[in-house]
Amino acid sequence: MYKDYYISVIIAAAGMSNRMGSKINKQFIAIDNKPILVHTLEKFERCRYIDEIILVSKEEEVEYCRKEIVRKYGFKKVANIIRGGKERQDSIYNGLLALNENTDIVLTHDGARPFVKIEHIEDGIKGVLKYGACVIGVPVKDTMKVVEESNIVHHTPKRSLLWAAQTPQCFWTHVLKEGYEHAINEGIVGTDDSSLVEKSGYDVKMIMGSYDNIKITTPEDLIIAESLLKDMDSVKSRREFIVQRG
């Protein structure tokens, strides 16, 4: 069924690293001896339903990505590396303009989210076929507070209704393009792609993801990332041991 659709993903890797306090783009910091961006790209390279990857980077890092990321690690699905814009929203729009003209379904994903599971990428694609637009996310665990500018609590929303949105965010291509065209025409700035689609009049379904699907933004996130990798290696070793024992 999925062979009937051309599916692309736009990987946003043009962000700044202000909160990381690093001299290099956070996506190029190595965890388990490979740049974070490589771990991210590997998931979409291995996903059987993904036909094309559009990588968006800073203009001055396009050639670095081409030589030190795509060529060095042998990614075959990266069809284009393009320059990003001032904001993430601008970068994704640039990615939309670079999509294969046959793209039916488009996913957007953060380059600094290397722990996305392939099964959740596939869930997102299935979600598009069923709902038209969907977002991977998880229910929040903490009580949330809405506060005023003076940090006075305005109200406490019902926790059971709150989810933390992650990526990938997944759409019929025409739906996401309409969301961006509406945002441009109305001067709307959204915090994610889903918000633009919502404001253009479409319903967006939330799909259960994983709490491991963190976005690496701060030095503390790097520590968590290393811990997650160790846990994954431990699980992999146990599985290999069980297979060997038969």
pTM of the model: 0.91
Contact between residue 50 and residue 9 where contact means Cβ atoms under 8 Å apart: yes
- Residue 124 has a pLDDT of 98
CA–CA distance, 122 with 106 (Å, rounded to integer): 12
Query: Are the C-beta atoms of residues 53 and 11 closer than 8 Å to each other?
Result: yes
Half-sphere exposure of 242 (CA within 13 A, CB side): 6
- Position 16 scores a pLDDT of 65
How many angstroms separate the most distant Cα atoms in the chain?
A: 63
Classify strands 30-31 and 34-35 as parallel, antiparallel or unpaired: antiparallel
Structure-token match 């979600």, residue found: 127
pLDDT of residue 48: 95
pLDDT at 217: 86
Q: What pLDDT, on a 0 to 100 scale, did the predictor assign at position 131?
A: 97
- d(Cα 234, Cα 238) in Å, to the nearest integer? 6
Q: How far is CA 11 from CA 88, 132, 200, in A?
A: 11, 20, 23
Strands 105-110 and 163-172: antiparallel
Report residue 169 as tokens. Answer: 């965010």
- The vertex-56 CA angle with 54 and 58, nearest 5°, equals 160
pLDDT of residue 232: 65
- Pair 46, 62: CB distance under 8 Å: no
Q: What is the Cα–Cα distance from 96 to 14, expressed in whole angstroms?
A: 15
What is the pLDDT, as a whole number, of residue 227? 83
User: DSSP letters of 155-173?
Assistant: E---GGG-EEEEEEEEEEH
Per-residue pLDDT of the chain (246 residues; tens, 9 = 90+): 667 899 999 999 987 655 555 567 889 999 989 999 999 999 999 999 999 999 999 999 999 999 999 999 999 999 999 999 989 999 999 999 999 999 999 999 999 999 999 999 999 999 999 999 999 999 999 999 999 989 999 999 999 999 999 999 999 999 999 999 999 999 999 999 999 999 999 999 999 999 999 999 888 877 888 888 776 654 443 443 333 444
